[in-house]
Structure 1
Amino acid sequence: MIVATSIHELRDAIAESVVTIGNFDGVHLGHQKLIGMTCAKAKTRGASSVVVTFDPHPLRVLVGPQTPPFITLTDQKLELIRQHGAEAALVIPFTRELAALSPEEFVKTYLVDALHVRELVIGYDYHMGKGRTGDYKTLQGLGEKFDFQVFRLDPVTHDGAVVSSTRIRDMVQAGRVWEARPLLSRFYQVSGEVVHGMKRGGDLLGFPTANLKLVDELVPKRGVYAVWVELDGHCLPGVANIGTNPTFGNDAVSVEPHILDYSGDLYGRRIRVHFVQRLRDEKKFSGLDELKARIAEDVRLGRTILRSPEAQPERPCTCPGPATAASPDGPEVRA
């Protein structure tokens, strides 16, 4: 997939295009439908399929740092867009000056002159341009003026509710990672570099953990989770603690996966943690013996859950066992 951050990079590379546009936070099921529809239409007419998105997220510029955490930052967003078949992505640097453009100015500059758009695919609630005045009706008018068609995708629902980034964010923050999976068509995941922590996991407890310096913003609710840990394209079973380690009186929140039956130096390496199911709340224990016993039970539960066919991860992460349709209640063994 071609990735460009300037229209000048694509102006001569694309003869004509079918475009979808949006923020695509999470690249969830609704976004995947938009990308799939765009790719199918592009294939039919022999055009390039292009996803137009923004960096930073417009809310980060217009609202400021008090915006909620985002599900996917730009690098992961682009990785997921590529996996769903887009041939090119235009990542437009978002500024207040860009936000001040009228819908017609934006469409003419970015879609018509640069991408030679022939068809535009948008979500049911998409708005663009100054004051968000560029709705479906406005875009249809611009399509008539600049000779392109506009298609609007109906809301995508799951369990009777619209799939949205806000809904997924609320689920993850509540620890309901199993329920978020079908909305994302994958397990929720975070990634980061393994850094030195307090070195208590292996030395003191007998369960070494990888302390992550996260690159992602959205962290699931504190507690212990059954997880897959992706390392060099392979998924390894594990359990992860998110919290402050209250038994030891820590204050800083950390994400610390323990990879089952693994030995090796992970410091300085980047790993990805796929959250399968929440096992329990974070808890302060009376001492080391009680904590070690509880961790051993967490490991037992994690092994059982991760052996379940419905708990297998999706490609490209390569793991033993097939991926199957997920039960809405999760694997049978629950803490």
Structure 2
Amino acid sequence: MLLVESLDRISTPFQNAVVTIGNFDGVHKGHQALLKQVISKAKKISGTSVALTFEPHPLRALGIDTPPVITRHDQKMELLDASGIDVVMCLPFDKAFAAIPAQEFIEKILVEKIGMKAIIIGPDYTFGKNRTGNIALLREQGPILGFETIVADWIKDPASRTHRISSTRIRQIVMDGQVEQARQFLGRHYQIRGKVVKGRSRGGSQLGFPTANIKLHDELCPKFGVYAVTVETIHGKFMGVANIGYSPTFDDHIFTIEVHILNFDQDIYGTRIRVNMVARLRDEKKFADIRELSDQIRKDIDTAKEILLKNGSVEDRYIS
């Protein structure tokens, strides 16, 4: 995959570019189907498949509040790369870019700069200054400027005949703690990632279960509770149990994401880990004392092992 982060980097248009445009938050199954259609069309016309996205999110760049992201920028780029797309154009978005008229965006950027011969977009796609560009304008300009406009069908929610897979829907599912259902929409487990930081220093010393603590930034936080997870570290992939919330037994009102990694004794402070949310085990609960909490954590570990083994989320060599 070629990553282009500025229009100035394009010296000559791409050959027969087939373009799709979007924020692609989550790179979910709907996005994946769209990208496959772009790749297929590019192959048919001996062209180049191009995904155009923006950083930061256009609404955020305009000072409008936006919901937390399903995938941070680095993960989104990794997922777009894995899709097989030829070129990802991740352009900086600001007020000047937002002021480009829709007609100019089509002519000067999509056709002249990128070399677009086809565009594949969803039914609700709008663009340009004041979002005045739409499918009707693309279809009007296509015969004049020499490109084809293809409107992709929505990908339906597998649990419903009326809802489509969307970032908004996935966001709500994750916030409800339904991470198993999120996997059906994403095609993978919902993942949070971050640097391991110093925590309360009580997981190993007081509870007997050392934890890796991470902080979220802009990304979506699952519903508070305890989860069966897999953890990707610099030492490999392991089973784990994660607690998200305020640990009410300690009553210190500090939000944390604490991950106990099974069969693991490496020092990973300062390194980045990836936590795949496989299944929600239970709500947070205030226990009478630390001993009662420790007993429950042992039960959570046993339950998590059973789920992860059945799920096939980790290799046998990581199971004690």
TM class by smaller structure: over 0.9
Partner of residue 257, structure 2? 255
Partner of residue 327, structure 1? none
Counterpart of 1:246 in 2: which secondary structure? coil
- Distance, in Å, in 1 between the alignment partners of 2:272 and 2:155 is 34
Partner of residue 164, structure 1? 166
- Distance, in Å, in 2 between the alignment partners of 1:10 and 1:29 is 30
Any gaps of 5 or more consecutive residues in structure 1? Answer: 314-318, 322-335
- Distance, in Å, in 1 between the alignment partners of 2:256 and 2:13 is 44
Deviation at 1:306, TM superposition (A): 0.3
Structure 2 counterparts to residues 181-220 of structure 1, below 5 A: 181-220=183-222
Cα 1:109/1:13, change in 2 over 3 Å = closer
- Distance, in Å, in 2 between the alignment partners of 1:51 and 1:233 is 33
Q: Which amino acid aligns with 1:227?
A: V
Partner of residue 181, structure 2? 179
- Distance, in Å, in 1 between the alignment partners of 2:12 and 2:302 is 57
Q: Which amino acid aligns with 2:111?
A: V
| Selected match of 1:278 from 268, 277, 280 | 280
Any gaps of 5 or more consecutive residues in structure 2? Answer: none
Deviation at 1:216, TM superposition (A): 4.6
For residues 61-98 of structure 1, give each alpha carbon's deviation from its aligned partner in whole angstroms, at most 9, with x where no partner exists. Answer: 2353x321111122211111111111111111111222
Counterpart of 2:174 in 1: which secondary structure? helix
Q: Which amino acid aligns with 1:14?
A: F
Do the aligned partners of 2:16 and 2:45 also contact (CA within 8 Å) in 1? no
Do the aligned partners of 2:13 and 2:115 also contact (CA within 8 Å) in 1? no
Q: Which amino acid aligns with 2:210?
A: P
Deviation at 1:102, TM superposition (A): 1.7
RMSD of aligned C-alpha atoms? 1.5
Partner of residue 116, structure 1? 115
TM normalised by structure 2 equals 0.94
- Distance, in Å, in 2 between the alignment partners of 1:198 and 1:208 is 11
Partner of residue 225, structure 1? 227
Deviation at 1:233, TM superposition (A): 8.0
Partner of residue 36, structure 1? 36
Counterpart of 2:249 in 1: which secondary structure? helix
Do the aligned partners of 1:193 and 1:214 also contact (CA within 8 Å) in 2? no
For residues 128-154 of structure 1, give each alpha carbon's deviation from its aligned partner in whole angstroms, at most 9, with x where no partner exists. Answer: 112222211111112122101011101
Q: How many residues align?
A: 313
Partner of residue 103, structure 1? 102
Partner of residue 127, structure 2? 128
Deviation at 1:248, TM superposition (A): 1.3
Do the aligned partners of 1:247 and 1:287 also contact (CA within 8 Å) in 2? yes
- Distance, in Å, in 1 between the alignment partners of 2:177 and 2:269 is 27
In percent, how many aligned pairs have the same letter? 45
TM normalised by structure 1 equals 0.90
- Distance, in Å, in 1 between the alignment partners of 2:211 and 2:278 is 18
Q: Which amino acid aligns with 2:54?
A: F
